[in-house]
Homo-oligomer: A and B are copies of this chain.
Amino acid sequence: MPDPIDELKDVLAPIEDLKHAAEVLSWDQETFMPDGGAEARARQIATLRTTAHERFVTDKLGALLDRAADALDGADAEDAALIHVTRRDYTRARKIPASLVSALSEACSRAQVAWQKARAADDFDAFAPHLQRLVELNVEKAEAIGYEGEPYDALLDEYEPGMTTADVASVFDPLRADLVPIVDALADQPLPPDDFMRHGFDPDAQQAFGEQIITDFGYDFERGRQDRSAHPFTTSFSIDDVRLTTRFDEHFLPSGLFSTLHEAGHGLYEQGIDPALERTPLAEGTSLGMHESQSRLWENLVGRSRPFWSHYLPALRDAFPAAFDGVSLDAFYRAINRVEPSLIRVEADEVTYNLHIMLRFELERGLVQGTVSVDDLPALWRAKMDEYLGVVPETDAEGVLQDVHWSMGAIGYFPTYALGNLMSVQLFDQLRTALPDLDAQIADGDFGALLGWLREHIHRYGRRHQAPDLLERVTGDALQAAPWLRYIRDKYSALYDVSLP
């Protein structure tokens, strides 16, 4: 008799292969695929995902999970986690009827085309019926999955397992109350100059500079690579093949540079997973929020810090002397930390970013609850932008139509961006305790201890622990906004030489 746990792993491994193959095809689609390949590629990815799904939701796998659970040696925490996580995925996947999966997939395909056109034409009405349909299907999905509190719980759970809508709201609401006056106070300050960021920067030279930094971080180019795509992303084909993408703006250096550091943070997480988890459902980051905590930690807490640039500014001057000769560390540090309420989420600074997220969370939660109607979105969007950030988009293209997520049917995804920001500071506080001379290490361009700590406490576990449990294990606390607020207040009151509320 084969060990049922081994048998389970043998059944799951090729399913993981199929899912990773779909990731390879998606990566190629975004990086190298010629336009002509689009139609066939969409079908191929759909076939891979469907095949993986069909192999996963069989009765046989359910029975095998039962046998594996019975055979479990209580001492093996890794196998226990494998069974627990797989059971969770399995139960969830079985609850969603195939007809709903295909209705959602079809509606998303149509919605994405409609969204692209609607955004280009600034025509929300053209997108509204598609969004309406996606909301209805998501509600149907939430009902199929089930929830304790409200239907949004079931959707959020896909991206941030272990968190409820109420958990999120209980953190976001007081945070917003504290944050709006801070943003308000900073918006009154004169903007630090950043004209030196707007020279011409050769994209290949930008890429070389960024790759040097992320190599120093510990991103392993023997087990990954960086390519260019319209929207930066990170994807994993195995623990030993984790790919980053980025894009470069020839006339604005921070765009490509910080996107490289950000994606490298995601990449370091995926490259740091315990090789023993390879080819199992545990071999990925545990939640989108935890993933974002890693990308934001490297991008902001490391990459927008003064010690970091005390090390790298000389190299940047060597790479781009025309732009940076004579630019002081202080001027550079201020330029990369400009706070300016703005319309577009992906271009937002670290202070205002969370408000963009809260706005989206509130609207999509309302859509799913039925307290917000699709037709009201544009007006609500403008009202909340005004209330939270003091700026109002003149067009829906710069407002409610700016993000791709809803057109992809992804409702419940947005909050994870802000959760990641909050967690990143909770983790960094812990890191500072563990590594008292962290700033000095960063100022030496030495990230070995930092990465080692993240690997030891976060990365290696993959999905073995849900994000809230992992955060609690590492910090002793549940999700908190206070550390992040303290970090923001400390950093920006010093940087702007202003007292913040």
User: Which residues does A use to contact B, with CB under 8 Å?
Assistant: 13-14, 17-18, 20-22, 24-25, 28, 32-37, 39-41, 43-44, 47-48, 50-51, 220-225, 227, 237-241, 278-279
CA distance A41 to B240 in the complex (A): 10
CA distance A48 to B51 in the complex (A): 10
CA distance A268 to B392 in the complex (A): 53
CA distance A69 to B240 in the complex (A): 48
Q: Which residues from chain B contact A225 at a C-beta distance below 8 Å? A: 32, 34
Q: Which residues from chain B contact A224 at a C-beta distance below 8 Å? A: 34, 36
CA distance A69 to B28 in the complex (A): 38
CA distance A24 to B20 in the complex (A): 12
Question: How many copies of the shown chain assemble into the complex?
Answer: 2
Closest B residue, CB atoms, query A31? B32
Q: Which residues from chain B contact A21 at a C-beta distance below 8 Å? A: 21-22, 24-25, 44, 47-48
Closest CB in chain B relative to A234 CB, distance in Å: 14
Closest CB in chain B relative to A10 CB, distance in Å: 12
From A227, A239, A241, A279, name the one whose CB has the most chain B CB atoms within 10 angstroms: A241
CA distance A118 to B444 in the complex (A): 46
Known: A39-B240, A224-B34. A18 touches B279 (CB 8 A): no
Contact A36 B223 (CB under 8 A): yes
Q: Which residues from chain B contact A39 at a C-beta distance below 8 Å? A: 238, 240
Contact B48 A279 (CB under 8 A): no
Q: Which residues from chain B contact A223 at a C-beta distance below 8 Å? A: 34-37
- Listed by A's residue number, 27 A-B pairs whose Cβ atoms lie within 8 Å are A13-B47, A14-B47, A14-B51, A17-B43, A18-B47, A20-B40, A20-B44, A21-B21, A21-B22, A21-B44, A21-B47, A21-B48, A24-B25, A24-B28, A24-B44, A32-B227, A34-B225, A35-B223, A36-B220, A36-B223, A36-B224, A37-B241, A40-B238, A40-B239, A41-B241, A43-B279, A44-B237
Contact B40 A241 (CB under 8 A): yes
Closest CB in chain B relative to A283 CB, distance in Å: 10
Contact B222 A48 (CB under 8 A): no
Closest CB in chain B relative to A26 CB, distance in Å: 10
Closest B residue, CB atoms, query A33? B241
Closest B residue, CB atoms, query A46? B17
Contact B240 A17 (CB under 8 A): no
Closest CB in chain B relative to A390 CB, distance in Å: 45
Q: Which residues from chain B contact A35 at a C-beta distance below 8 Å? A: 222-223
Contact B17 A44 (CB under 8 A): yes
Closest B residue, CB atoms, query A14? B47
Q: Which residues from chain B contact A33 at a C-beta distance below 8 Å? A: 241
Give me the 3 closest cross-chain CB pairs, A-B, nearest first: A37-B241, A40-B238, A36-B223
Contact B47 A241 (CB under 8 A): no
Known: A24-B28, A222-B34, A224-B36. A17 touches B238 (CB 8 A): no
CA distance A224 to B28 in the complex (A): 12
Contact A48 B241 (CB under 8 A): no
Out of B36, B48, B240, name the residue touching A240 (CB < 8 Å).
B36
CA distance A252 to B22 in the complex (A): 39
CA distance A34 to B41 in the complex (A): 23
CA distance A47 to B241 in the complex (A): 17
CA distance A320 to B466 in the complex (A): 60
From A33, A43, A225, name the one whose CB has the most chain B CB atoms within 10 angstroms: A43
Closest CB in chain B relative to A274 CB, distance in Å: 15
Closest CB in chain B relative to A58 CB, distance in Å: 14
Known: A34-B225, A225-B32. A18 touches B241 (CB 8 A): no
Out of B18, B32, B239, B241, name the residue touching A51 (CB < 8 Å).
B18
CA distance A224 to B40 in the complex (A): 13
CA distance A22 to B34 in the complex (A): 18
Contact A241 B36 (CB under 8 A): yes
CA distance A122 to B220 in the complex (A): 34
